[in-house]
Amino acid sequence: MPVPAGAGRPVWQHRSTRARLAGWFGWLMFVALFVLCWQVMTKDTIWSFVLDAPQQAADIGSRMVPPRWSYLDRLWWPLWDTLNIATLGTLLGTVIAVPVAFLAAGNTTPSRLALRPLALLVIASSRSINSLIWALLLVTIIGPGVLAGIVAIGFRSIGFVGKLLYEAIEEIDAGAVEAIEATGASRWQVIDYAIVPQILPAFAGIAVFRWDINVREATVLGLVGAGGIGLQLQASLNVLAWPQVTMIFLLILATVVLSELISAKVRHAII
């Protein structure tokens, strides 16, 4: 920032006039873009449907209450499946993600030119596909059921855990690594003594966080036939059994709240 002299004294401004004008112009373009997008988005909207939305919502709402509590007996088993899909899927994803993260981190990768881009590609492709779509693919490949759900959750978790973990690896204190290298330690000993202790809290936090997300994601996998409580949801929706749908929602809500509590507790204990 230049400091022009005005009235014999140096004047300081955070931005120059030019930068300020550019800033306002940027905001103007942003608003214009928003208006344009709004028009494109609402071109095909049938406004009469939107206008009676409150009545429709009230109608469905009235059919949804009270929840059918007796249906709960048939939900425990699918819920158990859902939790297993989430837990085993997280385990699978994490086990694959750890080596991938070490290959992807700039300070631990054995080869910047070949392995690092490959590991980053694995992470990006895993992240770019939603669990539901992974499940859709896997149900056609390995058939419907819990296994497809586990693998789908696992594949999606590789990218998430891998990305956050390799960022954690890149942020470690290089001094400790240098010190362990200076003792004559081998590459694996450096990982074991200097790197692992530093990333362990981050790793535990990431894994538990992903498990928490996976519990939520596993609840919908049944919609495409990959097992769990989503199967029941699909069945109930198909026969318009709204009180059962409410029951499932309540159960999912309770599960998610519980898993969030558990993950918060675990993370707090570790860090």
Q: Is 68 left (phi over 0), alpha (psi -120 to 50) or beta?
A: beta
The C-alpha angle 38, 39, 45, rounded to 5 degrees, equals: 95
Give yes or no for residue 200 binding other proteins (CB under 8 A): yes
Q: Give the nearest distance from C-beta 94 to other proteins in angstroms.
A: 20
Q: Give the nearest distance from C-beta 120 to other proteins in angstroms.
A: 23
Q: Which is nearer to other proteins, 191 or 250 (CB)?
A: 191
Q: Which is nearer to other proteins, 107 or 130 (CB)?
A: 107
Q: Give the nearest distance from C-beta 118 to other proteins in angstroms.
A: 24
Q: Give the nearest distance from C-beta 113 to other proteins in angstroms.
A: 17
Provide the β-strand partners of residue 6.
Answer: 9
Are 228 and 78 in contact by the 8 Å Cβ rule? The answer is yes
Q: Give the nearest distance from C-beta 73 to other proteins in angstroms.
A: 47
Q: Which range binds other proteins by CB under 8 A, 72-80, 181-189, 229-237, 245-253?
A: 181-189
HSE-CB of 206 using CA atoms within 13 angstroms: 25
Contacts of 161 (CB under 8 A, 6+ apart): 93, 94, 97, 98, 101, 206, 207, 210
Give yes or no for residue 194 binding other proteins (CB under 8 A): yes
Among 63, 95, 183, 261, the residue binding other proteins under the rule CB under 8 A is 183
Among 198, 234, 267, 270, the residue binding other proteins under the rule CB under 8 A is 198
**E strands along the chain, which residues?**
5-6, 9-10
Among 44, 184, 238, 271, the residue binding other proteins under the rule CB under 8 A is 184
Q: Which is nearer to other proteins, 52 or 173 (CB)?
A: 173
Are 214 and 157 in contact by the 8 Å Cβ rule? The answer is yes
Give yes or no for residue 204 binding other proteins (CB under 8 A): no
Upstream peptide bond of 110 is cis (omega within 30 degrees of 0): no
Q: Is 130 left (phi over 0), alpha (psi -120 to 50) or beta?
A: beta
Q: Give the nearest distance from C-beta 263 to other proteins in angstroms.
A: 21
Q: Which is nearer to other proteins, 108 or 214 (CB)?
A: 108
**E strands along 35-186, which residues?**
none
Residues 141-180 that bind other proteins (CB under 8 A): 173, 175-176, 178-180
Q: Which is nearer to other proteins, 83 or 195 (CB)?
A: 195
Give yes or no for residue 107 binding other proteins (CB under 8 A): no
Among 72, 193, 234, 243, the residue binding other proteins under the rule CB under 8 A is 193
Q: Can you spell out the DSSP letters for 207-271?
A: HHHHHHHHHHHHTTGGGGTSSSHHHHHHHHHHTT-HHHHHHHHHHHHHHHHHHHHHHHHHHHHH-
- Interface residues with other proteins (CB under 8 A) are 173, 175-176, 178-186, 188-189, 192-194, 197-198, 200-201
